[in-house]
Amino acid sequence: MKKLFSPRNILTLSLTAALLFVSSFFVPQASAAGGSFNLMVEHTINGKDLGLDKALPVNVYLNGNLAIPDFRYGESISTSLPAGTYEVNVTLPDGTPLPSMDLGPVAIPAGVDVMIKAVLDADGAPILKVEAAETAAKMNSFDVTVKHSINGRSLGLPKALPVNVYINGALAIPGFEYGDKVSTKLSSGTYTITVELADGTPLPSMTVGPVFVDAGADLVFNAKLDAGTPIIRVVAR
């Protein structure tokens, strides 16, 4: 087991972690405020499979800084890291980049158990395979259902009334139409939701947040009319 280096270096590998995790329903979702996640990283590529030295030493960079020098076949690292946004790059010792092993930038939420393995894909290319444990995820997540219940004809618009839904300023649900419904799990954290028509016209009456949602909640966000005004009604189940 290779020992962790300095606190700065420890942050490096963490970047990789949430790749699977954060791509649920809202594309770039907010990570939980504070907290940490558990990480295990393994180097399982035998260099002989690539016509190289069996040890296949590599250097791992985090946000452009060298984090794990001389990481070799068979070695592993386990640690806890703060939730946050990370980017990982891997090079050979002579500086040759391995772009197939690049990851991020990706936001990693607190409370996730993540395993990252350096492996070869079906085509023989070296990649970083990321797996997240669902049990840890559920402990730090909440259930959410989003419904579009506004018939556009009630506003003198097309019945489908397509809208774009944004979370924390980033497009999350494009082309969301009357009758559509989405259900998913999201990491506990602080969210702001805004809605606009498909042509970019803002709908300020449909803004929700910023609001912190705790783990274990079960919420329904329903787009409805309130005395003719489009709103998002939030109901806890």
Distances (CA, A) of 83 to 86, 171, 175, 187, 220: 9, 22, 31, 11, 26
Tens of pLDDT, residue by residue over 139-189, are 677 888 999 999 999 999 999 999 999 888 888 889 999 999 888 888 788
Cα dihedral value 41, 28, 224, 201, nearest 10: -170
How many whole angstroms separate alpha carbon 215 and alpha carbon 193? 18
| Residue 129 structural domain | 7-138
- pLDDT at position 4: 29
What's the one-letter identity of residue 7?
A: P
Total count of domains within the chain: 2
**At residue 21, does pLDDT exceed 70?**
no
Give DSSP secondary structure letters for 86-106. EEEEEE-TT--B-GGG-EEEE
Q: Give percent above pLDDT 90 in the chain.
A: 32
Average pLDDT over residues 190-217: 89
The mean pLDDT value of the chain amounts to 78
pLDDT tens per residue, range 83-129: 777 788 899 999 999 988 888 777 777 777 778 888 888 888 898 88
Asked if 60 and 139 touch (Cβ cutoff 8 Å), the reply is no
Q: For residues 208 and 58, give the distance between their C-alpha atoms in angstroms, rounded to a whole number.
A: 46
Tell which of 138, 162, 196 closes a domain: 138
Same domain, 100 and 215: no
Instruction: Supply 64's token pair.
Output: 């452009």
Question: Are 146 and 115 within one domain?
Answer: no
pLDDT tens for 30-68 read: 333 457 777 787 899 999 998 999 999 999 887 788 878
Residue 193, by phi and psi: left (phi above 0), alpha (psi -120 to 50) or beta?
A: beta
Q: Are residues 150 and 62 in the same domain?
A: no
E runs forming strands in 149-198: 163-167, 170-176, 181-187, 189-197
Task: State which amino acid sits at residue 187.
Answer: S
One domain, residues 75 and 99 = yes
pLDDT over threshold 80, residue 229: yes
Contact (Cβ atoms closer than 8 angstroms) between residue 29 and residue 175: no
